[in-house]
Amino acid sequence: MTTPAPRRRAFSLRARVAVATGLGALIIVVALGVAVGAAIARNNLAQLDRRLEAASTILVPNAAVAGPFLGSFGDAGAFAITIRGSDGDVDTSTPTQLPSLDPGSHTTAIDGTNYRTYTAHDPVSDSLVSLAVPYAEAQDVTAEQQQQVAVAGVAAVAAATGLGWVFGGRAVRPLVTLTRRIASREQDLVPTPSGVREADELAAAAESMLRDFADAQRGTDAALATARDFAAVSAHELRTPLTAMRTDLEVLTSHELPAEDRAQVLADLTRAQTRVETTLADLERLARGELSTEKDFSETDLLEIADTAAGDAKRHHPGLTVNVDGPATPLRGLPAGLRLMIDNAVTNAARHGGAHTVDITITHGDGDGAIVLTVDDDGSGIAHEDRERVFERFVRGTATSKPGSGLGLALVAQQAALHGAAVRFDDSPLGGARLVVTFPGAAMSHRVHRAHTM
């Protein structure tokens, strides 16, 4: 088993801002401290050189007078003076004797102690006078001053970190507020701008996400409610033929029936089985329509679909004449759904209306670019009180005598809704019913006429 990696400790954004501010201040303070420390060291060394140079301006003119007394200063180590003649030999010196040096400032070590020296030439006696003080004098001052700089730098870093914490809290407050509002599932996350661009952008993105989530949740709830209702109604509709089939099977297995009665029971079984099969097929088509998405839509020709549907009606309804009239009409839709709509309209007219002639006509609306599909028949028509009800699932017209699933026109209404179309029944000039489906907008092209006599 793979051991899960330990979770990294989480820190608040406010703490991260404070730490980032402190680190930034630390980098700047260290850089400035190094530069200032080096400048202090150079400055103190320069001051020491100027002191030695000033002392030499007094000592050199009086070297002949002061020389005999140098040996009496003792070896305190506070300073050293050495006078050398033109031959380079030492004429006189303090107990701490300096080496031979060129004119100017130098740092030299004597018995393990560093000295800062200054050597000047005496033109009167043609001698070199060297003065020196312990280098530690300048180093001690430099170290003290650099320590003060370091203390000030630490204080500056601490102050920057503290200010980062204080101001960081104010800076991240909009994000903290936004987080709480997201956690409470508020829909309107940005009623007024917060002044922080990132917070406003995050709020807008979160608002869009929550809105999409809420829409998806409502869609899911509606789909579940529809599915429950659909399942309940479907079970009710299927229960009747299945119960009849079971009764017929019990009769066949428990009774010796005459051939005529047995044939009647078998015919009932066949009709019930056909009804169940038809209902299940229509339920499958309904479910497929419910699951359709935008990616299933494509450019198609409504006239071509109507022409194909009319041709196929020959095999299913012998003796039926289907006429197709209208322009070639490009339409973005579900080809299978449009075909199903026309097939069911023709089937309803032939099977339940007893029609012998069906006219399928495609026209365009006046000025609005709408496409109007009409299916007229010369059948028995649909009663006015049934013209809205028949589009509901498992509802059949009151004048219908032939068996059916009650889903044919429900499929027509579903496909119309999927295409954003309106559907209704009117009286037909042929004497039967007229189905009118109005689609929004499309271009009109050449007009054709086809007739199919079955």
Mean pLDDT along residues 278-286: 62
Q: Are 219 and 199 in contact (CB under 8 A)?
A: no
Q: What is the DSSP letter of 76?
A: -
Q: Are 433 and 349 in contact (CB under 8 A)?
A: yes
One-character DSSP codes across 24-68: HHHHHHHHHHHHHHHHHHHHHHHHHHHHHHHHHHHHGGGHHHHGG
Q: Are 267 and 305 in contact (CB under 8 A)?
A: no
**Cα 358 from Cα 285, distance rounded (Å):** 24
CA dihedral 329, 333, 335, 340 (to 10 degrees): -100
CATH code: domain 294-453 is 3.30.565.10
Q: Are 334 and 297 in contact (CB under 8 A)?
A: yes
Render pLDDT for 371-426 as a digit per residue (tens, 0 to 9): 999 999 998 888 888 888 888 876 766 656 555 556 778 888 888 888 889 999 99
Measured in degrees and rounded to the nearest 5, phi and psi for residue 438 equal -110, 115
Q: Are 133 and 106 in contact (CB under 8 A)?
A: no
Query: In this structure, which amino acid lies at residue 225?
Result: A
Render pLDDT for 81-101 as a digit per residue (tens, 0 to 9): 888 887 778 778 887 888 888
| Long-range pairs of 386-395 with CB within 8 A, sequence gap ≥ 24 | 387/424, 387/425, 390/425, 391/423, 393/230, 393/233, 393/286, 394/233, 394/236, 394/237
Mean pLDDT along residues 300-309: 89
74 — pLDDT class (breaks 50, 70, 90): low
CATH code: domain 13-156 is 3.30.450
**Cα 334 from Cα 198, distance rounded (Å):** 43
pLDDT of residue 423: 92
Distances (CA, A) of 73 to 80, 84, 113, 202: 9, 18, 19, 81
pLDDT of residue 454: 41
Q: Are 156 and 30 in contact (CB under 8 A)?
A: no
List the structure tokens of 359.
């006219």
Instruction: Check whether 151 has a pLDDT greater than 70.
Output: yes
pLDDT of residue 156: 84
pLDDT of residue 448: 39
Mean pLDDT along residues 74-81: 67
Question: Per DSSP, what are the bridge partners of residue 261?
Answer: none
One-character DSSP codes across 240-260: HHHHHHHHHHHHHHH----HH
285 — pLDDT class (breaks 50, 70, 90): low
Instruction: Check whether 358 has a pLDDT greater than 70.
Output: yes
**Cα 265 from Cα 251, distance rounded (Å):** 8
Instruction: Check whether 353 has a pLDDT greater than 80.
Output: yes
Instruction: Check whether 147 has a pLDDT greater than 90.
Output: no
List the structure tokens of 316.
């299913």
Q: What is the DSSP letter of 109?
A: E
113-122 sheet: strands from edge to edge: 90-93, 80-84, 127-134, 113-122, 104-110
| Helix residue spans in 317-449 (DSSP H) | 335-347, 408-418
Render pLDDT for 218-257 as a digit per residue (tens, 0 to 9): 877 876 776 676 666 566 556 656 777 788 788 788 888 7
**Strand blocks (E) in 31-176:** 80-84, 90-93, 104-110, 113-122, 127-134
Question: Per DSSP, what are the bridge partners of residue 92?
Answer: 83
Q: What is the model's pTM? A: 0.46
| pLDDT, greater one: 23 or 442 | 23
